[in-house]
Amino acid sequence: MDAIRRAILIAGLAASAGGVRRAAADGGSGKDVTPAVDGTVRFDEEARTAAAQDFGHVVQRMPAGVLHSASDRDIATIIRWAADSARKIAPRGQGHSVFGRSQVQDGIVIDMAPFSAIHEVGNDRVSVGGGATWRAVLAATLPRGLTPPVLTDYLDLSVGGTLVVGGIGGTTSRHGMQSDNVLEMDVVTGQGETITCSPASNPELFHAVRAGLGQVGVITRATLRLVAAPQKVRRYMLTYPDLKTLLADQRRLVAEERFDAVQGAIVPTPSGWTFRLDAARYFAGDHPPDDKMLLAGLSDDRAAAKPATLPYADYLDRLVALEKLLRSNGQWSHPHPWLMLFVGDSHVQSVVAGELDRLTPADLGTFGQIVLSIFRRAAVTSPLLRLPDDGLVYAFNLVRLPATDSAAEADRLMTANRAIYERVLAAGGTLYPVSAFPMSAEDWRRHFGPAWPLLREAKQRFDPDHVLTPGYEAF
């Protein structure tokens, strides 16, 4: 765990960096450290400490300052200054990374919150700032009867923060990732140039930004695809006797497209693992779908099925109760050594069964669970999103919610993450890069495989001084 320990840098240690001292002596204006900007660069302890954390609570890196500005020009100015002064820059959306990916030691964090504007809602698209949350996007589109086709389970993530990793949701099987549903972006590159990119215009940049881990540019504006929003959702919480039947029904449902969203879960209970499927069918008006027809032939324990009808907006916000609970009992601020992987259909039974044999409830923690959700590989088109070769793929996520804030326990779980990752890799699986364990540059090369030249060449072209987003340690 040496790499992890190296990454855990205490705030006080970093505060001794020369640039920070000079800025503090300057009353926090930072004039003597960074060039003049239209917005502000904050060098105070409060701003820097906030940017030295993330939801993972396992890595802390103290930046020298934090840029607050809604101007592309300011981002460009700071990026050019960083290139000249051998500093690094990291954009930060909502800070929900779990392994320091939006952090930067002694560099400048760009707080993307000022880029939260909803610019324009059209009939089939919305243009938003890269720092807008998906919640804010929805608040602007739902009154017009429109919705992004894919939403993450949690709405308080930033648009830029999910586009650079992918952004998976319950409807991914039909619509791909969020990164497959972006039409155009304004990006400030690592050379401080603002470029508008799309599949037709500057496609090299467009393809390297989507699921490209923020390595080539900062997304300041994104035009997102919209579809008609349903009014209501009929939701079924199904329970299965075992892994095999859970997988079989997921395959059947994805092939028949009976539901709009399907998400599987394996939950630790005192009596062992419980296998669940959360299936949702969207509808409009007062006529919910026929439960019997929708559930016909499935192998769930029908007596335990709990159909419910709820407004679409409430369905999308379904994690809010869990967040409230975890905030109230303190678990929201515990370490979150999450592991997110993709496993192909041909290996899913053996891989997941093997891991279930090794895992204990304590490895997931109180309220923790395993996500096991199927989607069609062909729906995902972002070239840097690495997936197994199988036509059907499962998101296999260990949502670990430790009952303790012990650093030693977090270390233990991150060591376990590495071992599970290696086993999944050996079975043709891949990583969803929002996971908590150290990845070396060599690991990233292996991860991207045949897609590595795309990212490497884009890095060379758009961020030749390697200024941007060092938290992945990919270059």
Nearer to ligand FAD, 166 or 230 (CB): 166
**Tokens of residue 2, six digits:** 């040496």
* Residue placing its CB nearer to ligand FAD in the complex, 183 or 305: 183
Pick between residue 204 and residue 291 the one whose CB is nearest to ligand FAD: 204
Site for ligand FAD in 212-271 (CB under 6 A): 214, 218-219
- Output the smallest distance, CB 290 to ligand FAD, in A: 29
Q: Which among 89-97, 142-150, 291-299, 383-391 is the span making contact with ligand FAD, rule CB under 6 A?
A: 89-97
Query: Distance between alpha carbon 434 and the CA centroid of its chain, in Å?
Result: 6
Indicate the Cα dihedral angle 98, 96, 441, 426, nearest 10°. 60
State how far Cα 395 lies from the chain centre.
Answer: 13
> Are β-strands 261-269 and 392-399 bridged in parallel, bridged antiparallel, or unpaired?
unpaired
Quick one: which of 4, 20, 59, 164 contacts ligand FAD (CB under 6 A)?
164
- Secondary structure class of 423 (helix, strand, coil): helix
Identify the residue among 63, 65, 149, 161 touching ligand FAD (CB under 6 A): 161
Q: Which is nearer to ligand FAD, 171 or 298 (CB)?
A: 171
d(CA 230, CA 228): 7
Q: Which is nearer to ligand FAD, 298 or 340 (CB)?
A: 340
Residue 85 burial (CB count, 10 A): 12
Please report, as residue ranges, which positions from 387 to 446 form the binding site for ligand FAD (by CB under 6 A).
434
Which residues, other chains included, contact 422 with Cβ-Cβ below 8 Å and sequence gap of 6+?
none
User: Which residue from 39, 148, 149, 160 is in contact with ligand FAD, where contact means CB under 6 A?
Assistant: 160
Stretch that binds ligand FAD, among 86-94, 285-293, 411-419, 457-465 (CB under 6 A): 86-94
> Does residue 385 interact with ligand FAD by CB under 6 A?
no
**Packing angle of the helix pair 345-358, 407-426 (nearest 10 deg):** 150
Tell me how far, at minimum, the Cβ of 460 lies from ligand FAD, in Å.
18
- Backbone dihedral angles phi then psi of residue 133, each to the nearest 5 degrees: -85, 160
Does 168 participate in binding ligand FAD (rule CB under 6 A)? yes
Task: Give the torsion through C-alpha atoms of 430, 379, 349, 361, to 10 deg.
Answer: 70
**Which positions touch ligand FAD (CB under 6 A)?**
54-55, 90-97, 101-102, 112, 130, 152-154, 157-158, 160-162, 164-169, 214, 218-219, 434, 469, 471
